[in-house]
Amino acid sequence: MAIECLVLGAGQEVGKSCVVVTIGGKRVMFDCGMHMGYHDHRHYPDFARALAAWGAPDFTTAISCVVITHFHLDHIGALPYFTEICGYHGPIYMTYPTKALAPFMLEDYRKVTMDQRGEEEQYSYEDILRCMKKVIPMDLKQTIQVDKDLVIRAYYAGHVIGAAMIYAKVGDAAMVYTGDYNMTPDRHLGAAQIDHLKLDLLITESTYAKTIRDSKHAREREFLKAVHKCVSGGGKVLIPTFALGRAQELCMLLDDYWERMDLKVPIYFSAGLTIQANVYYKMLIGWTSQKIKDSHAVHNPFDFKHVCHFERSFINNPGPCVLFATPGMISGGFSLEAFKKWAPSEKNLITLPGYCVSGTIGHKLMCGKPTRIDYKDIHIDVRCQIHQLAFSPHTDSKGIMDLTEFLSPKHVILVHGEKPQMAFLKERIESELGMPCYYPGNNESVSIPTTQNLKMSATERFITSCAVEQGKRSLHKRNLICGTGLSEVIGSDEEAAEGILLMEKHKSPKILCEDELLEVLGMEQHLVQFEPMVSRIVADVESELQRAKAADLDSDGK
Amino acid sequence: MGDPHLLSSAHPNAAASASARKHPGPIDERLAASDPSPSSAKRPRVAAEPPASGGCVPNVEADVRALVSMAGGIYPLARAEALRGLTAVLENVDPSSRASVGITECCYKCAVELMRDDDNGVRLAVVRLVGACARNFSARLNFDANGYGDLMDMIFLQLSSMARDMCTQVRMEAFTALGKMQRVSEGVLLQSLSKKVIKTDSMNVSIINGQKLPPKLKIPCAAGIFSHGIEDEFYQVRTTACKSLGALAKFSNQYAEKALDLLMDMMNDDTEAVRLQTLEALFHMATYGCLTVQEKHMHMFLGLLVDATAVIRDAARKILGLVNMPKLQIFKSAVDGLITSLEKYPEEQDIYGILFSIGKNHGSFSANIAKYLAKEIAMASDGELILDKPRVKALLIVSISAPFSDDKHKKLNIPSIIFSHAIPLLEKFSCALGGEINQDSLLSYLCQKGGMPFWENRSISAEFGESESCNVETVEIGAHIENTAKATKCLDEVLVMQSVKSILEIVEGAWTMRMTCNVCEVRTILRTCKEELRLLAENSSGSIGAFLSFLSEYVDAMLFIVEIWQLIQLDNPYTFGLTSLDILLEKLDMSVRRMEYCYVRLNRVLEVQVLELSLIAHLFRLSKIAVCSKVVLGKLLSVINRLEDLCADGSCELSDFSREIKKAFDTNPTGDNLIGSINNLFQLFRLKPTTDFGMLKVISAVLRVCDNDSENPLQYICGLPVGISFKISLWNVSSHHRLWLRMTIGESMQHTFLDFSCFGGNDEVKSSSMVVPLYATPKACSFVLRVCLVMECPSAGISTHQGGDGGPSDSVVQLSDELDVYFVSAVQR
């Protein structure tokens, strides 16, 4: 038996995460994302090709279930397309928060692409709703029996609210798909947490395959210092973020700092989406960090004190302010609008998220500080300060190594990362942890052998004889200890017991004692005896033979 | 395991030679334990090892063996329990014994095998066991240092890898264990702070070549373990990580420097408990002297000084009072920060103390400040520089602290103007010095330094004038400054004795001036001395503590004598009723009695001193009643006899005073002439305090009542007996002492004899909890019972019987403080 892992997306790249794993004959699709950097056929994973390769009539029969790890578009963006346009009708699993927040993300993106890019609408709002209706929510550590053989379970992954790592098991073959995760907690989310599991395969993200990040305290301090400096100089701070997750994290940080420093500068959320999301966050306390869980009864940390009501026209207001705008990589939407307005002033500050997909303005800003940006016929003079946020909800290289070491799987597959870094990490995993590691590209597949456990019974006699043996040995050792004191004898208790493994057709395998064998097989004992042939005897025999021969010759002669 | 030379040394001859030696060292110990013949003379000694180790060593081995095999079982709870059992065994094994090596190594091996167990409980137990192994190994290091260093590093790495566990408890336990590690090499320590793997060739060689490391245990697993720890989601883990981070700082300066960076970042933590723990860790580092503040940390410290939480401010200040500040700039900003804090929270007066200690720790910097301040004062015209301003006050305190600084080799020139301006801040100044020096002496010091004619106005007698008195006081201050410089609770014995000597000199001096000089002044001096002795006694223990409390008692008695003498001379002795003289006499008696009976193993010199005091006390009684009371005369006689007895072998001489009294007695047994010549006799009395105290012990007691205070009174029913449960601890009480529990309600008194049979403990400390009935409860809604422990003083034959209430038949001394027990009637209408 083997695990077949087909990477439909996020192979040697970041975006449109989609991995289909065939495990014990069951096909499970992990994540179904879209790529934000492309607007052509590369936008979605190549489902049709996969279907052709599988040779199945439709997706519903080909795939046992779809599991979505979290609500980021590069993990869920293609889901409505897959269900409503490609026609998958099987079960879809995601955690409660993901189910609650995913429609907002999808709808927001749909609107953005429709308004800003005039792109051909791939799915409608109704599609999203219909798709979400098919979703079966799951809870952390809840074991779900998808069908007779397939079992899945979600573990806390940090990253964003509701993010999960998925454990899947068919028979003895087990694997974990991490999705995106974070091994260090932040202001509002905890660190990823998983049990010790016996795994054949671990599919892990590797966004920061090479980076080792320093302490988050230092990052927080730098961010606050930059923002404070900017607003005290009368500048405006634009914080392009995803609506969910980073926005809340940074806002908690700022709100706390505003409180401590007694600042009066307004903080705005550009989109109603973020505000709506906050409502959900307030309800999803169970999925946040320990600190919030402990303290929310006294004060819900998502009730931001310093956040003010915002209208689009405020973008032209004078005076300092802090604005959270979507989308995170300034790929369009309101963050682009604000960027166009504010970038030309050197008083202002733009903070960039930790990671930007190539092709977005964010990415251009990240790769050295340009003075002029051309974006779809628009020219923007960039004079503002740029602060790169080192905040990232992704784990770093150390975290990946730590998780891999903790889980100790037999094989590791890296996805969701960039090729050179993945190659580096692969080396490290193979050399330091001694696990075979792969990083297939898109539409490549990797086959991994699995171990198969065989259940076998043992006869009573065999067990008794083993126990007797052990008893004798320990008695022997006891004498030894009395004689010489405690030394090497302790700890080497394990010694092999001898027996016969009997495997017959249509019967479960059995271990027996040697003398039981005949009885079980119902056969008679045959003895073959060997006699040692010593040279003297050989000589005797030979001379005898010769004599006999001579006698024969004699008789012949007569 | 696999220490070949251990096995090879198990040679009969070696064992025999080892047993022949009187005091086998650790090596011999090992040989002895590996003696193959159980019937040798060694047997009883092995068996007589601490009973906690579960009897003789073979039993421990059997335990270990059983537990190790159970630890390999299939049930996780059983595995965990077996590991806990091993931990318990390790804790009870004497790490210096030879058996402990084998056992510890065996446990360690077992723990390492289970380190990756699937069950959280097992991993938790593993961490504890590894921690216990590390402790035993490091204890072992004290005996033979061969090759355990690498092992310690290895254990550190293993614990580090456990500190990244998914289970919160395991992480906490791992960090706790890391904090307790000893002798970890610097490279490993530094690696534990940085997530990036530090590549040092030497380190790799020593660790990877030295030990056969399993493939998973290379140095990267320790990488940045503390950076992870302080970012943990659970504040409990962060707290323990902080604690361990600070605890390890004493091993390496380089580490301490880097750890400080991490700890400073922790000050932004959102949980107050973590911030407090961080401050505690910093404090810990500061007390070990491995905390050097750099400029980049200053703004964080200054922020802490004005933190909204008082506890944090307080902790931050305490740390600041201890740290080294390498630059004047940092020093100044620290002082400025404290001044800001003072302006914001003027009620926090202990800031002055911190300012003083900062100044004291950085003498040359504060001298610098003093220089500028002096200029500022000189420049300011009248009224401009207001001393009330916190800034000026603070700067003055800093400036004045410079002469107290440790770097005495530098001559620090503090302008005298500073001293004279500091006089109004006398109170704060003395507070800053810990309240141990009385203000008068400080004042005189400041005046002297400030060049002010102060003592001339005050001093009365010419021969005991300014210079001498000032000398005495400065000596005193000097002694104290040395003490405060130590700034530790446990004062050095030598230092204590030095100050005791100087104090006793003062006492003697004061005594000589009792006739010539104002009694008030003598009294003040004595009182101060007594106070100082009491303070010293509080910080000392053992014999020296007992001696100090004895001395303070002695000075107390001197004080009474001086006061009584004054009264006898001034007052009309023929007054009726209870006068202050009566009270003083009674107090003196008590004091003498306490000295006589509450100290065990008084040496001869001290006993003579006490007896002479007792003579004086009796003399006073005689003069008070002006009639020769038979009882008093009898006592006097017995004291003289005892004195003669003590001096009979010529080891010490009978003083003039005693000899004169004896002479008077001999000539006239009725003692009439004693009263007449009392004045002369008193003149003869000389103080000869000694500093030789031998093995002095003080008898003392602590009495407590369980669950009782004014808010939470005991209930009783009027007229019926009520039981009160006491917790009693006694020190140095032996079986021949007769102790009573005295319970007083208003006028009525009940004595209950203490039976030592129900006390547990040894000769030194006995303790017990007992229920004592109070028989006659008053008919009242509520009352307060006053309870104390008293000890009977067996006066030789002369009984002052106190009446037939079944109480002590002799006079008593009070051993414990008086305790209030609150009662309320159970039936309240």
String of DSSP letters for B90-155: HHHS-TTSHHHHHHHHHHHHHHHHTTT-S-HHHHHHHHHHHHHHHHHHHHHHTT--SSHHHHHHHH
**B300 contacts chain A (CB < 8 A):** no
Are the Cβ atoms of A218 and B223 closer than 8 angstroms?
no
> What element of type H or E holds B590?
helix B580-597
Does residue B241 form part of some domain? no
Does residue B170 form part of some domain? no
Q: How far apart are the first and last CA of chain A?
A: 77
CA distance A26 to A9: 20
On the question of pLDDT at A557 being above 60, the answer is no
CA distance A212 to B597: 72
Residues B526 and B652 in one domain: yes
On the question of pLDDT at A98 being above 70, the answer is yes
Tens of pLDDT, residue by residue over A273-292, are 667 777 888 888 888 888 88
Does residue B218 form part of some domain? no
Does residue B213 form part of some domain? no
Q: Rounded mean pLDDT of A434-450?
A: 90
Active site residues of A: 205
Supply angle C-alpha B782, B786, B789, rounded to 5: 150
Does residue B553 form part of some domain? yes
On the question of pLDDT at A350 being above 70, the answer is yes
**B296 contacts chain A (CB < 8 A):** no
pLDDT of residue B451: 67
Tell me: cis bond preceding A327? Omega within 30 of 0 counts: yes
Contacts of A217 in chain B (CB under 8 A): 230-231, 265-266, 268-269
Report residue B360 as tokens.
């004291």
Q: Is the dihedral of CA A352, A357, A361, A364 positive or negative?
A: positive
On the question of pLDDT at A164 being above 90, the answer is yes
Report residue A200 as tokens.
């054949």
CA distance A33 to B731: 78
Q: What is the dihedral of CA B541, B547, B549, B553, to 10 degrees?
A: 180
Q: What is the pTM of this model?
A: 0.64
Kindly calculate the radius of gyration of chain B based on its CA atoms and give it in whole angstroms.
34
Size of interface A-B (CB pairs under 8 A): 115
Last residue of a domain, one of B652, B684, B716: B684
Residue A402, min C-alpha distance to chain B (Å): 7
Q: Which site among A431, A490, A492, A493 would you substitute to test the B interface, given the most B Cβ atoms closer than 10 Å to its Cβ?
A: A490
Residue B146, min C-alpha distance to chain A (Å): 19
**Which residues 329-348 in chain B show a CB within 8 A of chain A?**
none
A153 φ, ψ (degrees, to nearest 5) = -150, 140
Among candidates B110, B231, B235 on the partner chain, residue whose Cβ is nearest the Cβ of A184: B231
Pairing status of strand A150-156 against strand A143-145: antiparallel
On the question of pLDDT at A480 being above 60, the answer is no
- B707 DSSP 8-state letter: T
Pairing status of strand A201-205 against strand B812-814: unpaired
Are the Cβ atoms of B61 and A195 closer than 8 angstroms?
no
Do residues A57 and A87 touch, judged by C-beta distance below 8 A? no
- A184 DSSP 8-state letter: S
**Which residues 50-69 in chain B show a CB within 8 A of chain A?**
57-58, 61-62, 64-65, 68-69
SS3 B810: coil
**Which residues 26-45 in chain B show a CB within 8 A of chain A?**
33-34, 36, 38
Top mean-pLDDT range of A66-75, A117-126, B462-471, B569-578:
A66-75
Total domain count for chain B? 3
Does residue B693 form part of some domain? no
Contacts of A433 in chain B (CB under 8 A): 216
Burial of A434 (0-12, 13-18, 19+ CB in 10 A): exposed
Contacts of A256 in chain B (CB under 8 A): 270
Among candidates B62, B119, B270 on the partner chain, residue whose Cβ is nearest the Cβ of A291: B270
**Paired strand residues for A95:** A138
Supply angle C-alpha B575, B578, B580, rounded to 5: 90
Collect the ranges in chain B with pLDDT lower than 70: 1-58, 96, 141-149, 198-222, 381-388, 405-412, 432-440, 450-495, 514-517, 570-579, 625-628, 649-651, 669-675, 795-806, 828-829
CA distance A65 to A29: 6
Report residue B568 as tokens.
């006898």
Q: Which site among B74, B265, B272, B278 would you substitute to test the A interface, given the most A Cβ atoms closer than 10 Å to its Cβ?
A: B265
**Residue-by-residue DSSP string for B210-271:** TS---TT-SGGGGTTHHHHHTT-SSHHHHHHHHHHHHHGGGG-HHHHHHHHHHHHHGGG-S-
pLDDT of residue A273: 62
pLDDT of residue A325: 83
Residue B284, min C-alpha distance to chain A (Å): 22
Are the Cβ atoms of B231 and A217 closer than 8 angstroms?
yes
**Residue-by-residue DSSP string for A30-65:** E-----SS--SGGGS--HHHHHHHHT-SSHHHH-SE
Long-range residue pairs from B412-415, CB within 8 A, at least 24 positions apart, any chain: B412/B363, B412/B364, B412/B367, B413/B367, B413/B371, B414/B367, B414/B370, B414/B449, B415/B370, B415/B371, B415/B374
Are the Cβ atoms of B61 and A434 closer than 8 angstroms?
no
A262 φ, ψ (degrees, to nearest 5) = 60, 50
Q: What is the dihedral of CA B503, B505, B511, B517, to 10 degrees?
A: -90
Name the strands in the sheet holding B765-774, side by side, starting at the edge strand that comes first in the sequence: B700-705, B722-731, B765-774, B760-761
Question: What are the residue ranges of helices labelled H in B382-465?
Answer: 390-401, 416-422, 426-432, 439-450, 455-458
Residues B670 and B814 in one domain: no
Residues B673 and B784 in one domain: no
Task: Find the closest chain A residue to B219 by CA distance.
Answer: A432
Q: What is the mean pLDDT of chain A?
A: 82
Residues B678 and B704 in one domain: no
Residues B650 and B710 in one domain: no
Residues B647 and B555 in one domain: yes
* Residues 6+ away with beta carbon under 8 Å from A260: none
Does residue B285 form part of some domain? no
Residue A468: CA count within 13 A, CB half-sphere: 7
Q: Which site among B46, B53, B270 would you substitute to test the A interface, given the most A Cβ atoms closer than 10 Å to its Cβ?
A: B270
Residues B674 and B731 in one domain: no
Which residue type occupies A402?
D
Contacts of A290 in chain B (CB under 8 A): 233-235
Are the Cβ atoms of A401 and B220 closer than 8 angstroms?
yes
CA distance B684 to B563: 17
Among residues B175, B160, B161, the alpha carbon closest in space to that of B237 is found at B175
CA distance B537 to B549: 6
CA distance A506 to B55: 58
**B109 contacts chain A (CB < 8 A):** yes
Task: Find the closest chain A residue to B6 by CA distance.
Answer: A487
Top mean-pLDDT range of A359-368, A380-389, B783-792:
B783-792
CA distance B41 to B20: 9
Residues B602 and B713 in one domain: no
Within 10 A of B380 (CB to CB), how many other CB atoms are there? 12
Among residues B743, B748, B738, B761, the alpha carbon closest in space to that of B808 is found at B738
Are the Cβ atoms of A212 and B195 closer than 8 angstroms?
yes
Are the Cβ atoms of A217 and B234 closer than 8 angstroms?
no
Residues B675 and B714 in one domain: no
Does residue B460 form part of some domain? no
Residues B635 and B556 in one domain: yes
Burial of A306 (0-12, 13-18, 19+ CB in 10 A): middle
Are the Cβ atoms of A485 and B10 closer than 8 angstroms?
yes
Count helices and strands in chain B by DSSP H and E runs: 36, 12
Tens of pLDDT, residue by residue over B548-591, are 888 888 888 888 888 887 777 765 555 555 567 788 888 888 88
Task: Find the closest chain A residue to B108 by CA distance.
Answer: A491
Residue A420, min C-alpha distance to chain B (Å): 19
CA distance A492 to B72: 11
Are the Cβ atoms of B102 and A401 closer than 8 angstroms?
no
CA distance A204 to A263: 42
Q: Is the dihedral of CA B778, B780, B781, B787 positive or negative?
A: negative
Are the Cβ atoms of B61 and A218 closer than 8 angstroms?
no
Domains, chain A, ranges and CATH? 2-212+393-449 (3.60.15.10), 216-388 (3.40.50.10890)
**B218 contacts chain A (CB < 8 A):** yes
**B215 contacts chain A (CB < 8 A):** yes
Are the Cβ atoms of A485 and B270 closer than 8 angstroms?
no
Contacts of B64 in chain A (CB under 8 A): 486, 490
Contacts of A490 in chain B (CB under 8 A): 61, 64-65, 68, 106
Contacts of A487 in chain B (CB under 8 A): 1, 6-7, 102
pLDDT band at A176 (very low <50, low <70, confident <90, very high): very high
Are the Cβ atoms of A486 and B106 closer than 8 angstroms?
yes
Residues B671 and B707 in one domain: no
Are the Cβ atoms of A193 and B215 closer than 8 angstroms?
no
Are the Cβ atoms of A490 and B235 closer than 8 angstroms?
no
Residues B663 and B550 in one domain: yes
Are the Cβ atoms of A485 and B34 closer than 8 angstroms?
yes
Do residues A307 and A322 touch, judged by C-beta distance below 8 A? no
| Distances in whole angstroms, Cα of residue A163 to Cα of each of A326, A452, B3, B593 | 20, 31, 51, 79
**B609 contacts chain A (CB < 8 A):** no
Are the Cβ atoms of B118 and A196 closer than 8 angstroms?
yes
Are the Cβ atoms of A291 and B221 closer than 8 angstroms?
no
- A359 DSSP 8-state letter: T
Q: Which site among B8, B31, B43, B65 would you substitute to test the A interface, given the most A Cβ atoms closer than 10 Å to its Cβ?
A: B65
**B307 contacts chain A (CB < 8 A):** no
Task: Find the closest chain A residue to B35 by CA distance.
Answer: A484
Which residues constitute the domain of residue B398? 293-453
Residue B120: which region, alpha, beta or left (left: phi > 0; alpha: psi -120 to 50)? alpha
SS3 B405: coil
SS3 B498: helix
Within 10 A of A355 (CB to CB), how many other CB atoms are there? 17
Last residue of a domain, one of B394, B422, B453: B453
Last residue of a domain, one of B656, B684, B712: B684
Residue B65, min C-alpha distance to chain A (Å): 6
Among candidates B69, B223, B227 on the partner chain, residue whose Cβ is nearest the Cβ of A493: B69
